[in-house]
Chain A
Amino acid sequence: MVNNLTATLRLGAEANQTRLDSYRDRQTLAGLANGGIGSVQTTEFSHWLAEGLLKYENTFGNDHSFSLLGGITFEEFLTRELDGSASNFLSDVTGTNNLQGGDGDANDDVASSKIKNQLNGFIGRATYDYQGKYLLTASFRIDGSSRFSEENKYAFFPSGSIGWRLSKESFLADVAAIDDLKLRVGYGELGNQGIDNFETRQTLIAGGNSVFGGSIVQGVVAARLPNPDLTWETTREVNVGLDFGVLGNRISGSIDFFNRVTVDQLFNRPLPSVVGFNSVRVNLGEVRNRGVDIGVKTVNIEKGDFRWTSFINGSFLSNEVTELPDFAEEIIQGNIGTFINQYTVITEGAPLRAFYGFEIDGMFQQGDDIASAATPFSVDDGYAAGMPRFVDQNGDGEINAEDRVVLGDPFPDFSFGFNNRLEYKNLSLEVFIQGVQGIESLDANVTESLYPTNSFRNSISRYYLDRWTPENPTNELPSGENANLYGGAFAINSLTVVDASFIRFRNITLGYNVPVQGWASSLGVYVAADNLITITDFESFDPDASAQGGQAGVVRSSYNSYPLARTFRLGVDVTF
């Protein structure tokens, strides 16, 4: 009995230290005005993990094997920061190495912080295998987080799966073409504790200070509206999959159908600011992600010295908000640096954070009866030919907030990767193509072109060159005259929410293995190109970039994203 028992203790730790020095010398405007501005920001991050596992495995007869596993985990995350800044230095030469050399005036600043959170989990798993044909797994996790209140610290997440290796059944054993065939059905729950510290309790933080009698006086303000009822966000996934290998494994791969329902999403719900806060963290609603993932590897040709293999993976995804509480039918959010805001919606039946605005079906032309058409501003206000014809969705003869519709969503309908490798003797060619289809983005470079903040900001020439004029009575682009009449909230429309689909030749590598003898075990030379071609209708730099970064829960938009570099590489690989 004891022979079959394994005890494992795993300890891990990491520590990171970062330090950011920035010095604006007197060549910069701000540096000149302030006599040099130096700042140092340091962050120490540490994380440790302790995990104890006990595993029992046994086999009865030749057919039954099973295992049991139980364990407990502890984790702690600690971040400490220390920042300092100063200005008005005697000279720029000391940079950030002499912050005390600043003038010690009120603009000099120090800040420090310490924040810690902990996780504690219990895990259990049982597996059973009959002849390698029928496979059963049942497991659970109980996860605890310091971030939730006493009542909700722990949550239970079960999962289980059944596997059936059909290729081992007698009725398929004789089918020579099938090498492997396995059907899997699984159900699992996973938790997410993605909130900040203290969101379940009230704390006071140092507020913006006041000046009384010529001196700075420090005050405190309530940090947030706490929600003591916050609990773990749970994702429940049902998964049906098939693994296969046929024709001597020349074609192998897997296909997975999944239905992932996330309930109690941890979500910042906007609040009417009259209660003093703009949002509160809540567990809210239900979002469903349904889709298919396919991965297939094929050996297309294998003849003599020539070999051609392909790997293709594809994923179809549909995202939909399936349930929102009654009191929050519509949550409108979004803010981008170009003064465009409130452009996404969370509402039942639409994808999460879909783009929400006005549909434009053309431009008013000279001679149109604009006065009796539905327009955001009246003809008296200056609404004229060359301005957009907004769709009056509710047919009330007016264009207002009620006419907003979903203009697109930030999830691809279909994404794929397609890799081909051709080898002939020592020569190889590898081509990787990536594609994303059916995804939209709010392009702030387009809003800047249609609604310029001022003439110095980036604009796309087409919006000026091809604009509506009496000589160019287009339906595509407005005249640009008095753009305020169709701007403001109306700037979120079918011209500025654009298709961000693309197909990209991510990487092409041509390699040659030089035959060597003796002094090295292998020598390879290659030429490679990254991001060689991108096929897209998207007008800004990179259709794949989001101005808000890749964080979960943020809205998508494009704003002067750094263009992706096209790289050519020449390389030599030597192994001794």
Chain B
Amino acid sequence: MKKYITLLFAVAMLSACNDFLEEEVFTEFDPAEFLQDESGIDALLVGAYSQVEITGFGGARDYFNILQEFPTDIAWETGGGLERLVVPIINFAWDPSLGFFNNQYNRYYSAIATANNVLLVADDVQGVDEASLNRARAEARFIRGLSYYILHNLFGPTPIIEIPAGASLDEIEAIGRETPRATEEEYRGYVEGDLVFAAETLEFGGLSSRANRGNALAVLTKFYLNNKQWTEAAATALQVIEEGGYALFNDYSTLFAVSGESNNEFIFRFECLVGSSQQNVYMPHAFPPNFPIASNWENFGAQFRTYTAFYETFDEDDVRRALFVSEYTPTTSGELTPLDRDADGNPLDNVRSFKFIPDPDAQGRFNGNDIPFIRLADILLVRAEALNELSGPNQESIDLINQVRERVSASVVSLGDFGSQEALRDFILAERGRELYTEGVRREDLIRHGSFIQQAIDRGKNAQPHQVLYPLPQAQLDNNPNLVQNPGYE
């Protein structure tokens, strides 16, 4: 009855009033008008990149530093508002409600949703040539594959989400609330499918901050590596090394400085620029208290510290060691203060990694140093590791390792130094630490080598075997009854 009365009035006033109640869009874009051509699709693609770019606090700090390094032998933290949040990570006392997990989960699923949206639009749009559409599809699938790679790294296989074109709100919700986790096999196939499509569709070269054949293959290589698919990892690594056109940058000490950004070593990077949404915020965490900083820099209460034992694994004249600060003179006391060991020789575990040399044009906490996700030195060591796993110590692995070591004036090694596959494996793991510290790959490296938990126990943490995976976030479990928590966290 009510409906009819309403309808009657609505119809009666239709001509006069419905126009009056039109909802006009001024500051946002109407998709029907915006997504007409290539530039519209590209803008949507850029939006998808912006979601997957691991920069800033919630991205780079939380993922690379906190989740990927604080539970390892390299770094830890005290001070600031951050301390309470990261103590569970450092001490292996995390639970599914810890905010980092849900934040990361949300980030990468936002990127996946945006990438999926590009794919839907590409299937629908008229008047754009097929080659351009395929490039857009390849970039979208790269973003999606990369997102799933990171999720897998943190949580193991998660649900694979695809929303069909024209799905209703109820259908979309049902997909969200009901989709179970993919099996390990399905998941690997899916990520592989995305990255292979990107690699086959795109060319080598171009910007290292957008998808191309080289970085699609590099992400695929790391995915194979972490899944211990040694043959595949060795093969794609070789393709990157031989065909990618990448080269080690001659000066490691400025590779991560703004001045080193022109390097051809970063295979996939997140470009940072002061004034953009993409910022490197590492350095304010690394300056020790009252460190003499420029007036346009900032020093946080939250302090990222490096373990003394790790710092001491470098040769004395290894260039990579020089990027640590092991003593300094605070502006307050004026006295030289050690950060590695106290006067009695006790470790202070307070060395600072200054890898991302502060941007001279930084604005406060925001620095413009690009953040590498995968670089050639990593891929060289991946191939060395995969070949050792496949056939034990071999000359090619040694040569690859020496390429990395010679660049930084570290002593070269020879095949004779390694009597067993295990000896070389351990050396490669240590070398990866020395080469890739502060770049957020240590956790996955230790897990792959089976030493993540034992090392933590040796540091005095109550680490449990199941902690090689982080738990699925509680908020996700609350919203989807079909999600099965990782073992040990139920």
Where the two chains meet, the residues of A that have a C-beta atom closer than 8 Å to any C-beta of B are 29-30, 32-35, 74, 87, 105-108, 112-118, 120, 122, 140, 142, 144-147, 150, 153-156, 158, 197-198, 200-205, 207-223, 225-229, 270-278, 280, 327, 330, 332, 339, 341-342, 377, 380-382, 401, 451-454, 456-457, 484-485, 488-489
- Contact assessment for B113 and A277 in the assembled complex, using a CB-CB cutoff below 8 Å: yes
Contacts of B177 in A (CB 8 A): 272, 327
Residue of B nearest to A327 (CB): B177
**B51 contacts which of A117, A120, A153, A221 (Cβ < 8 Å)?**
A221
- Contact assessment for A220 and B44 in the assembled complex, using a CB-CB cutoff below 8 Å: yes
- Contact assessment for B476 and A147 in the assembled complex, using a CB-CB cutoff below 8 Å: no
Q: Which A-B residue pairs are the 4 nearest by beta carbons?
A: A106-B275, A276-B113, A219-B46, A219-B47
- Contact assessment for A120 and B176 in the assembled complex, using a CB-CB cutoff below 8 Å: no
- Contact assessment for A153 and B18 in the assembled complex, using a CB-CB cutoff below 8 Å: yes
- Contact assessment for A211 and B278 in the assembled complex, using a CB-CB cutoff below 8 Å: yes
- Contact assessment for B210 and A212 in the assembled complex, using a CB-CB cutoff below 8 Å: yes
Q: Which of B432-455 contact A (CB under 8 A)?
A: none
Contacts of B301 in A (CB 8 A): 454, 456
Contacts of B116 in A (CB 8 A): 276
Assuming A107-B275, A229-B169, is B99 touching A484 (CB within 8 A)?
A: no
Interface string of B204-217 (1 = CB under 8 A from A): 00010110000000
Contacts of B475 in A (CB 8 A): 270, 273, 332, 342
Assuming A116-B26, A270-B479, A401-B474, is B363 touching A381 (CB within 8 A)?
A: no
B173 interface residue, CB < 8 Å from A?
Answer: yes
- Contact assessment for B176 and A488 in the assembled complex, using a CB-CB cutoff below 8 Å: no
A–B Cβ pairs within 8 angstroms, 30 of them:
A107-B274, A107-B275, A154-B6, A154-B9, A156-B2, A203-B28, A205-B29, A208-B47, A210-B49, A211-B278, A215-B273, A218-B46, A219-B50, A221-B44, A221-B48, A221-B50, A271-B176, A273-B106, A273-B110, A273-B176, A273-B476, A274-B113, A276-B116, A327-B173, A341-B99, A342-B97, A377-B93, A381-B93, A381-B462, A489-B474
B289 interface residue, CB < 8 Å from A?
Answer: no
Q: How far is the CB of A91 from chain B (nearest CB, A)?
A: 15
- Contact assessment for A156 and B6 in the assembled complex, using a CB-CB cutoff below 8 Å: yes
Contacts of B105 in A (CB 8 A): 273
Chain B interface size band reads: 35 or more
Q: How far is the CB of A106 from chain B (nearest CB, A)?
A: 2
Assuming A154-B9, A205-B28, A205-B29, is B276 touching A271 (CB within 8 A)?
A: no
Contacts of B109 in A (CB 8 A): 273-276
Interface string of B20-37 (1 = CB under 8 A from A): 111111111111001100
**B43 contacts which of A113, A208, A220 (Cβ < 8 Å)?**
A220
- Contact assessment for B28 and A223 in the assembled complex, using a CB-CB cutoff below 8 Å: yes
Report the bound CA distance from A380 to B93 in whole Å. Answer: 12
Q: How far is the CB of B422 from chain A (nearest CB, A)?
A: 31
Q: How far is the CB of B308 from chain A (nearest CB, A)?
A: 24
Contacts of B161 in A (CB 8 A): 274-275
Report the bound CA distance from A226 to B167 in whole Å. Answer: 12
Where the two chains meet, the residues of B that have a C-beta atom closer than 8 Å to any C-beta of A are 2-3, 5-6, 9-10, 13, 17-18, 20-31, 34-35, 43-51, 53, 79-81, 83-85, 87-88, 91, 93, 95, 97-99, 102, 105-106, 109-110, 112-114, 116-117, 158-159, 161, 163, 169, 172-173, 175-177, 179, 207, 209-210, 261, 271-278, 295-298, 301, 363-364, 462, 474-476, 478-480
Q: How far is the CB of B307 from chain A (nearest CB, A)?
A: 21
Q: A204-B34, A273-B106 are in contact. List 16 more A-B contacts (CB 8 A).
A: A33-B295, A116-B26, A209-B277, A211-B271, A214-B273, A217-B46, A220-B44, A221-B114, A222-B113, A272-B177, A272-B479, A276-B117, A327-B177, A332-B478, A377-B93, A401-B478
Assuming A272-B177, A272-B476, is B23 touching A201 (CB within 8 A)?
A: yes
Report the bound CA distance from A113 to B28 in whole Å. Answer: 9
Assuming A211-B209, A219-B46, is B99 touching A120 (CB within 8 A)?
A: no
Q: How far is the CB of A465 from chain B (nearest CB, A)?
A: 21
Interface centre among B91, B176, B261 (most CB of A within 10 A): B176
Report the bound CA distance from A142 to B28 in whole Å. Answer: 30
Contacts of B20 in A (CB 8 A): 74, 118, 120
Report the bound CA distance from A423 to B98 in whole Å. Answer: 61
**B17 contacts which of A29, A120, A200, A217 (Cβ < 8 Å)?**
A120
Report the bound CA distance from A456 to B95 in whole Å. Answer: 26
Contacts of A272 in B (CB 8 A): 176-177, 476, 479-480
Assuming A34-B296, A106-B273, A210-B278, is B114 touching A222 (CB within 8 A)?
A: yes
Q: How far is the CB of B144 from chain A (nearest CB, A)?
A: 12
**A380 contacts which of B13, B34, B53, B462 (Cβ < 8 Å)?**
B462
Contacts of A32 in B (CB 8 A): 295
Report the bound CA distance from A201 to B210 in whole Å. Answer: 31
- Contact assessment for B479 and A271 in the assembled complex, using a CB-CB cutoff below 8 Å: yes
- Contact assessment for B273 and A220 in the assembled complex, using a CB-CB cutoff below 8 Å: no
Contacts of B275 in A (CB 8 A): 105-108, 216
Assuming A272-B176, A275-B113, A484-B93, is B50 touching A106 (CB within 8 A)?
A: no
Assuming A106-B276, A272-B479, is B6 touching A115 (CB within 8 A)?
A: no
Contacts of B2 in A (CB 8 A): 156, 158
**B34 contacts which of A220, A228, A273 (Cβ < 8 Å)?**
A220
Q: How far is the CB of B63 from chain A (nearest CB, A)?
A: 16
Report the bound CA distance from A35 to B274 in whole Å. Answer: 14
Contacts of B83 in A (CB 8 A): 453-454
Residue of A nearest to B490 (CB): A400
Contacts of A456 in B (CB 8 A): 301
Contacts of B88 in A (CB 8 A): 484, 488
Residue of A nearest to B275 (CB): A106
**A156 contacts which of B5, B97, B113, B163 (Cβ < 8 Å)?**
B5
Q: How far is the CB of A55 from chain B (nearest CB, A)?
A: 19
Q: How far is the CB of A403 from chain B (nearest CB, A)?
A: 13
Report the bound CA distance from A106 to B9 in whole Å. Answer: 54
Residue of A nearest to B272 (CB): A211
Report the bound CA distance from A341 to B163 in whole Å. Answer: 29
Contacts of B27 in A (CB 8 A): 112-115
